Amino acid sequence: MSQTYDVIVVGAGVYGTTTALELHRRGRRVALIDPGPVPHPLASSTDISKVVRMEYGTDSEYMALVDEAISGWHEWNETFGEPLYHEIGVTMLTRQTMAPGGFEYESYIRLLERGRQPERLNSDEISRRFPAWRSGTYHDGFFHARAGFAESGRVVATLAQHARSNGIRVIEGMTVASVTTQRGVATGVATREGEAFSAAEVVVCAGAWTPWLLPELRAVMRPTGHPIFHLAPREPELFTAPNLVVFTADVANSGWYGFPMHPREGVVKIGNHGVGVALDPEVDERVVTAEDQLQLRDFLATALPDLVDAPVVYTRRCLYCDTLDEHLWIDRHPEIAGLTVAAGGSGHAFKMAPLLGGMIADAVEGHPNPRLARFRWRELADTTAGQEAARFHG
């Protein structure tokens, strides 16, 4: 097999697979390299589901981006002939009345401005339509139908198989140790297994491993781990859509979000989109702690009481590649020609999957794309605060 390509993409998560497919569509000879298996069980782009939602508080630019991405999710369902994306809607609930400045209120207003039709929910309506919620805990919020979840692990596996069937070489079982350069120009990659691959362009889509592969990014990117729980409810129907849909539960003040019964796995998945814990992806275990479990049970007791005693059948600590400002990072390296970095998903990039490959390919080829200005290579101070509006920064 050839060791020389037009483009080598490092990392076969959602960034890497979409990039490889788009560059191949543009006529490039592409190799996709990953430690494997794909989807990698320790990577961000795995597990059974990821939220797909337009709501970003005051951030109309992200809202527009995801609105377009959702159209792409529907196209993927048709292309691949199976429901990788399930549009069952989302509820965004608040303990207090929605008010200006709050994530839910600002999201609701911008949905209306965009011509969407979110349905305002009071306490009685929440109890009537979604009976799993403890009556009286959440007093306000809304339901938005243009939202749902993607079966994330299956998405990546499907994209990787699609890449193989289109002639892209997907190389599993190799870990890129370094990007090779000559006189300030990227010339390929070297692996820990002793292999060398040459290319005119290298794209690093290595998620939380990116700042380890490119140490110059360690000042602006950091891996963090966030608890995920799969629960087996004793009354599955109560937690099956439409009785329960994708939800956020006063999320900017608590971090809690989750999903209804999964159509294949038969579990309710709940996670916390918060500060997380710092992790070294090379050496640290992805352990969900006893304290994490207690916090989950406290949340369930006040919010979803019929899950309080439900068995937790699986846990994982989802790995984010956080940029300090929590915006994506997609740009050509300022000092190494032929090297592009696409990382920094910060726990909210997967929903944009149908658009990621196009944006990253435009960065690789230097094509104008107004969306890339926000994700450019940038200097960030240690004190830079995260700006993703749905995230609990407490």
| Predicted local confidence at residue 2, as pLDDT | 72
Q: What integer best gives the mean pLDDT of the chain?
A: 97
Q: Is the residue at 95 inside a domain? A: yes
Model confidence at 47: pLDDT above 90: yes
Residue 304's CATH number: 3.30.9.10
pLDDT band at 1 (very low <50, low <70, confident <90, very high): low
Model confidence at 327: pLDDT above 70: yes
Q: Is the residue at 305 inside a domain? A: yes
Q: pLDDT (tens digit, 9 = 90+) per residue, 19-34?
A: 999 999 999 999 999 9
CA angle 260, 263, 264 (to 5 degrees): 130
Amino acid at 193: E
Model confidence at 168: pLDDT above 80: yes
Average pLDDT over residues 332-347: 98
The token pair at 360 is 């990253």
Domain that includes residue 310, residue range: 89-146+222-323
DSSP assignment of 10-60, as one string? E--SHHHHHHHHHHHHTT--EEEEESSSSSPTTSSS-SS-EEE----TT-H
How many independent structural domains does the chain possess?
1
The CA distance from 220 to 35, in Å, is 24
User: In 3D, which of 359, 356, 339, 360 has the Cα closest to residue 348?
Assistant: 356
CA distances from 281 to 49, 97, 321 (A): 21, 40, 10
pLDDT band at 209 (very low <50, low <70, confident <90, very high): very high
Q: Is the residue at 197 inside a domain? A: no
Q: pLDDT (tens digit, 9 = 90+) per residue, 172-185?
A: 999 999 999 999 99
Q: pLDDT (tens digit, 9 = 90+) per residue, 259-286?
A: 999 999 999 999 999 999 999 998 999 9
Q: Is the residue at 13 inside a domain? A: no
Return the DSSP state at 223: E
Q: Is the residue at 118 inside a domain? A: yes
Half-sphere exposure of 385 (CA within 13 A, CB side): 6
Return the DSSP state at 136: T
User: In 3D, which of 302, 299, 303, 239 has the Cα closest to residue 267?
Assistant: 239
What is the model's pTM?
0.97
Q: Is the residue at 78 inside a domain? A: no
Collapsed DSSP state (helix, strand, coil) of residue 310: coil
The β-bridge partners of 92 are 142, 248
Count CB neighbours of 116 within 10 A.
Answer: 16
Q: Is the residue at 230 inside a domain? A: yes
Q: Is the residue at 57 inside a domain? A: no
- Report the b/e string of 1-18 with b at 16+ CB within 10 A: eeeebebbbbbbbbbbbb
The answer to whether 17 touches 54, Cβ cutoff 8 Å, is no
Return the DSSP state at 146: S
pLDDT band at 117 (very low <50, low <70, confident <90, very high): very high
The answer to whether 229 touches 269, Cβ cutoff 8 Å, is yes
| Predicted local confidence at residue 324, as pLDDT | 98
Half-sphere exposure of 375 (CA within 13 A, CB side): 26
